[in-house]
Chain A
Amino acid sequence: MLEGKTRLRAGALVFPALLLVAVFLLAPIGLILRFSLDVYDPSTLMKGVFSAENYVKLLKDPFYTGVLLFTAQVAALSTAVCLLLGYPVAYFISRSPSEKLRSILIILTVLPLLMGNAVRSAAWMVVMGSNGMINGLLLALGVINEPIKILYTPTAVVIGLVSVLMPFAIITLQSVLDSIPVSLEEAGRSLGYSPLRTLWAVVMPLSIPGIVAAGAICFCLAMNAYATPVLIGGPSVHMMGPLVFQQIAKVGNWPFGSALAWVLMMVTLVMTVISATYLNRKYF
């Protein structure tokens, strides 16, 4: 009786929030899974059949396969750069001498993240544009005679993505590094290891779960990026996120757009499972 009452109460408290997520997220995602298996028809929009045509088209049409591969390459490269640049920062934050410094560093890290994709992309455009800061600086110093093209190139997209993703990498790595006792490093040092060798032989292997989780999060966010490829990449850079928007909102090919969205969804699901599995594999 008492247990039944508790369940009823908990259910009543949680129901409205659950309803919101079920009605406005889970049902729509289910709906586009169905749409992705339908076939586009220019006059009726959809034929109402079951077919794998859209997924086959994505794997067969060289243009779309190219977009998928290019997106995956950009995502992989951005992820690798994020991990390389982010690891030392995360280690520094994790081992910072005072709580105050640590707080300041974390705020500095997440500040750009919270400003939103539109503002951050705008900021990078001002830095990299043809009349932007880098070109202005190089022209003033006489290094170049006319503006060089930085904006609207794949390199610019990678730079933009790295700045979007690095806060996620730093925060994830830092929380895992926090769980590695400093005493282990002291043990390494007392055995005569140099700081670098201690890092490589002691800290690095123990932080592998963090590296995998951070890598999975970065890769997944890069695959799904919208604002960075559109604004910093420009019209000549084709990536999956903008393609989903274009197919659904502009072209009106709902089945194919839904299939593209579901490919991104699958990548995200796989990456989430990988990161969750590794993060739960705690060594301490």
Chain B
Amino acid sequence: MTAGRIFYFAFVIAALVFLVAPLAVIVWASFFADKTLSFPPSGYTLDWYARAWDMEEFARGFVMSTQVAVCATLTSLALGVPASLAIERFRFPGRETLRHVLLAPMYVPAIVAGAAVYLYYIQVEIATTLQLTATFPGLLAAHTLVALPWTMRLVTASLAANGSLAEEAARSLGANAFQTFFYVTLPVIRPGLIAAALFSFIASFTELEMSLFLVGPGKTTLPIAIVNYLEWNLDSTIAAVATVQIFIIGTALLVSDRFVNLGKAF
């Protein structure tokens, strides 16, 4: 091995360490026994996890984030799967434009989208007296928007990869559109569907910028509870909360890796 190659490998490893190491450090710090954060620790404890759960904003934020993410995932699948089917299986003018419009929530900056939706909700409230800001349905609509592009991307990719031959065969044998979808299409795209659900869940669970505008006092999501706490404190409690989120997202990723090749999902 030449010196150049050694330098090249070391560079690549250093860059990857730079990306991953902070996460490892915060997981490590969640077990420190010291009252104030200090490196290296004098000992280890699990107390911070109990303390984090006892703090109402984190427990509530966790429950809220889970509820919103589950509902947003289901809504996003209910809207995104039919739309993916239309885009991949039908030929009609404006198909590509439609695809871009449905992926748009991924490209519009979250802080801009959050500001826009917030002011829009207030206008709707003035016009109809229907409250949307600081409500669950209002937050859910925004989170569905965040989840939709992930659903669309993974489901359209799965439909495209599998082709429509089997569906055409089923139709020619007399199956109707619904039978074809439930007995032929659905089983084939199941892995893509599961990955879509998991990624939609992750996108919603970690959403921060849009939610900032849309949550109300006492009704925040976990990422917002983390940001609010970090404005004044930096200790092992927040490390424990972050570790819980890392664990949840990591599990979702591991599960989706069983269904789709993550290396090709991006």
Chain A residues within CB distance 8 Å of chain B? 6-7, 9-11, 13-14, 16-18, 20-21, 24-29, 31-32, 35, 85-86, 88-89, 92, 99, 102-103, 105-112, 114-127, 129, 131-133, 135-137, 140, 163, 166-167, 171, 195-196, 220, 223-224, 226-227, 230-231, 241, 244-245, 248-249, 254, 257-258, 261-262, 264-265, 268, 272
Q: How distant is the Cα of A23 from the Cα of B87 in the complex, in angstroms?
A: 20
In contact, A118 and B22 (Cβ under 8 angstroms): no
Determine the residue in chain A with the shortest Cβ distance to B89.
Answer: A10
Q: How distant is the Cα of A129 from the Cα of B213 in the complex, in angstroms?
A: 28
Determine the residue in chain B with the shortest Cβ distance to A167.
Answer: B19
Q: Contacts of A122 on B, CB cut-off 8 Å?
A: 26, 226, 230, 238-239, 242
Q: How distant is the Cα of A35 from the Cα of B120 in the complex, in angstroms?
A: 10
- Identify which of B26, B91, B152 contacts A126 (C-beta below 8 A): B26
In contact, A261 and B4 (Cβ under 8 angstroms): no
In contact, B19 and A32 (Cβ under 8 angstroms): no
Q: Contacts of A25 on B, CB cut-off 8 Å?
A: 104-105, 108, 113, 116-117, 145
In contact, B242 and A123 (Cβ under 8 angstroms): yes
Q: Contacts of B19 on A, CB cut-off 8 Å?
A: 108-109, 111-112, 163, 166-167
Q: Contacts of B21 on A, CB cut-off 8 Å?
A: 127
Given contacts A25-B113, A231-B230, contact A114 B108 (CB under 8 A): no
B197 within 8 A of A: no
Interface bits B128-144 vs A (CB < 8 Å: 1, else 0): 00000000000001101
Q: How distant is the Cα of A7 from the Cα of B90 in the complex, in angstroms?
A: 8
In contact, A6 and B90 (Cβ under 8 angstroms): yes
Interface bits B194-212 vs A (CB < 8 Å: 1, else 0): 0000000010011111001
In contact, A29 and B116 (Cβ under 8 angstroms): yes
Task: Taking A25-B116, A125-B234, A245-B213 as given, write out 4 further A-B residue pairs in contact, using a Cβ cutoff of 8 Å, ordered by the A residue number.
Answer: A14-B98, A18-B102, A20-B144, A258-B115
In contact, B111 and A14 (Cβ under 8 angstroms): no
Give chain A nearest CB distance to B122 CB in angstroms.
9
> SS class of chain A's interface: helix, strand, loop or mixed?
helix
Chain B residues within CB distance 8 Å of chain A? 4, 8, 11-12, 15-16, 18-23, 25-26, 29, 36-40, 78-80, 82-83, 85-87, 90-92, 98, 101-102, 104-105, 107-120, 123, 141-142, 144-145, 148, 152, 177, 202, 205-209, 212-213, 222-224, 226-227, 230-231, 234, 238-239, 242, 245-246, 249-250, 253, 257, 261-263, 266
Give chain B nearest CB distance to A55 CB in angstroms.
16
User: Could you show 7 A-B contacts with beta carbons less than 8 Å apart?
Assistant: A7-B90, A14-B87, A25-B145, A106-B262, A117-B206, A120-B22, A249-B118
Determine the residue in chain A with the shortest Cβ distance to B244.
Answer: A119
Q: How distant is the Cα of A17 from the Cα of B141 in the complex, in angstroms?
A: 11
In contact, A268 and B107 (Cβ under 8 angstroms): yes
In contact, B112 and A18 (Cβ under 8 angstroms): no
In contact, A136 and B25 (Cβ under 8 angstroms): no
Determine the residue in chain A with the shortest Cβ distance to B243.
Answer: A119
Given contacts A10-B92, A28-B113, A124-B22, contact A114 B249 (CB under 8 A): yes
Q: How distant is the Cα of A196 from the Cα of B2 in the complex, in angstroms?
A: 12
With a 10 A CB-CB cut-off, give which of B8, B116, B148, B227 has the most chain A CB atoms. B116
Q: How distant is the Cα of A131 from the Cα of B29 in the complex, in angstroms?
A: 12
- Identify which of A129, A196, A264 contacts B112 (C-beta below 8 A): A264
Q: Contacts of B104 on A, CB cut-off 8 Å?
A: 21, 25-26
